Amino acid sequence: MKYELSPLPYAYNALEPYIDEQTMRIHHDKHHQAYTDKMNAVLEKYPAFAQTPIEELLQKLPTLEIDEKDRSLLRNNGGGYANHAFFWTVMGPEKEIDEGLVEEAKKTFGTVEECKQALGEAATNHFGSGWAWLVRDEQGLLKAYSLPNQDSPLTLGHTPLVCIDVWEHAYYLKYQNRRTEYIENWWKVLKFF
């Protein structure tokens, strides 16, 4: 199976003024496309994986029988593909409050604001490039943490629920080095809370 870059589920300018159209075009059409192309190049070497979804391959990454260099390439580019594909779906111009997730967040963190604070701190304090994640762990409990580069919670056996891209390409055109401001404004485009 050859993966293709899916179109954004909304217009490139739909998240303005919080995330600008130019950033969305470059982020989606250039960065996400590059991860897609490089992931496909790795997967071409392994026809046995042709029908296996990338999310499943990432879950099994540590035990896949592949070359170590390809494992690293799949972690980076398969993770980049899957992380971005998920990222586009948690944002949108309209709120779609997930009442179940709201209740879970209250139960785990105390309030939705405290959940957002935990995820925001994971994003703000992450050193270098990576992602902040709200996940359901292997016991089904909510956790907020960050991972470097394009690492995916799937490799840890966790289910992603919300993510914030803190690679500079996600915000640099509009916010330059002001990651905290980007994160503060990002909550305005998150659909679920």
pLDDT digits (tens, 9 = 90+) for 4-36: 999 999 999 999 999 999 999 999 999 999 999
Residues 43 and 121 in one domain: no
Residue-wise DSSP of 134-191: EEE-TTS-EEEEEEETT--GGGGTPEEEEEEE-SGGGTHHHHTT-HHHHHHHHTTTBS
> What is the arithmetic mean of pLDDT over 41-67?
95
Last residue of a domain, one of 50, 69, 90: 90
Report strand pairing: 159-165 vs 130-136: antiparallel
Q: What is the pLDDT of residues 65-99, one digit of tens each?
A: 999 999 999 999 999 999 999 999 999 999 999 99
Rg, the chain, Cα only: 17
Q: Are residues 104 and 173 in the same domain?
A: yes
34 and 82: one domain?
Answer: yes
Residue 173 has pLDDT above 90, yes or no: yes
Residues 76 and 108 in one domain: no
The CA distance from 59 to 75, in Å, is 10
How many folded domains does the chain comprise? 2
Report cis status (omega within 30 of 0) of the bond before 9: no
CA 178 to chain centre: 20
pLDDT digits (tens, 9 = 90+) for 116-128: 999 999 999 999 9
Report the largest interatomic distance among the alpha carbons of the chain, rounded to a whole angstrom: 48
- Is 7 strand, coil or helix? coil
pLDDT of residue 62: 93
Look at residue 1 and tell me if it is in a domain. no
With respect to residue 7, please indicate whether it lies within any of the assigned structural domains: no
Percentage with pLDDT > 90 across the chain: 97
> Could you say which DSSP state residue 130 is in?
E
Answer whether residue 16 is part of any domain.
no
Same domain for 110 and 35?
no
78: domain CATH number is 1.10.287.990
Q: Is the dihedral of CA 108, 162, 82, 30 positive or negative?
A: negative
Query: Per-residue pLDDT for 1 more than 80?
Result: no
Give the CATH number of the domain where residue 160 resides: 3.55.40.20
Mean pLDDT in the chain? 97
pLDDT bracket for residue 187 (50, 70, 90): very high
Task: Say if residue 153's pLDDT is above 80.
Answer: yes
> By residue range, what is the domain housing residue 67?
21-90
Looking at 30, 61, 90, the residue that finishes a domain is 90
pLDDT at 50: 86
Among 71, 90, 109, where does a domain finish?
A: 90
Query: For the segment 92-118, what is each residue's pLDDT rounded down to a tens digit?
Result: 999 999 999 999 999 999 999 999 999
Tell me, yes or no, whether 103 and 141 share the same domain.
Answer: yes
Return the exposure string of 67-106: e unless at least 16 CB atoms fall within 10 Å of the residue's CB, then b: eeeebebbbbbbbbbbbbbbbbebbbeeeeeeeebeebbe
Q: What is the pTM of this model?
A: 0.96
d(CA 132, CA 142) in angstroms, rounded, equals 13
The closest of 183, 161, 19, 184 to 98, measured between CA atoms, is 161
Judge whether 15 lies within some domain: no
Domain-embedded: residue 85: yes
